[in-house]
Amino acid sequence: MELPKEKRKAINSKPSFLILYGKMKTGKSSLCAQIEDNLIIDLENGYDALDAMVVNGSTVKELCEIKRALDDEMKNNNGEKPYKYITIDNASRLESISMDYAIKLYQDTPMGKNYTGTDIRTLPNGAGYQYLRMAVENIIGWFKPCCETLVLVAHTKAKQIRLNSEEMEEVSIELIGKTADIMCGLADAIGYMYRKKNQTILSFKAGDSVLKGARTEYLRNKDFVVIESDEEGNLTFPQLKEVFR
């Protein structure tokens, strides 16, 4: 093995895993429907009123079928990724439907081989949560190789954090326990969507009590006007292509 003697150029010019989150009804689905070459894995039938490239999945079994179809597509096209973007909408529903998979992961261990429960979270001392986190992380890992950028859509939640010996409230993604921290650690970019008058802003600016930011240079510490509405309620997407290149 030869050790490097100088800096190499950045390998990825765009995020491979992006979390897009905000309060309900801020336009997350409308935005995702506008992204070109984006397969949306809709876990809650939330795109029925939108023109979009959608496949529905309400169970882990159906997600497995989607994954197999993507793998077959890649195999038949010499490994070429079938989509530039794949969007999973949304994180809370993904966590919910992952319960059976988490139970299976636990049952595959020596200590869980005789487990017959239906909610892994009821294990003593919170031991079951690690299997739920593992299930969600594994599913995210299934789809990342099938696209250039995997997008996870999420809602917001507020959590208490300690900063400089003071308690404060931070806005984060709506997932249970440490799962949110793990997902955010895996993400190359975390964008927070919010409305300001007739505009919807997607922010990657770090530094306040809202969790957001990006490693990718063209997103880092920037705000983008991704949706704009006129007096009749017609929508345009001014800077959509600057984010989703």
One digit per residue, the tens of pLDDT, for the chain of length 245 reads 888 888 877 666 799 999 999 999 999 999 999 999 999 999 999 999 999 999 999 999 999 999 999 999 999 999 999 999 999 999 999 999 999 999 999 999 999 999 999 999 999 999 999 999 999 999 999 999 999 999 999 999 876 555 555 665 678 888 887 898 889 999 999 999 999 999 999 999 987 778 899 999 999 999 999 999 999 989 999 999 999 99
Name the residue ranges covered by the structural domains of the chain: 17-191
On the 0-12 / 13-18 / 19+ scale of CB atoms within 10 A, 27 is buried
d(CA 154, CA 158): 13
Residue 69, helix vs strand vs coil: helix
Of 153, 177, 166, 176, the closest CA to residue 209 belongs to 166
Query: pTM to 2 decimals?
Result: 0.91
17-191: what fold?
Rossmann fold (3.40.50)
Of 60, 54, 64, the closest CA to residue 89 belongs to 54
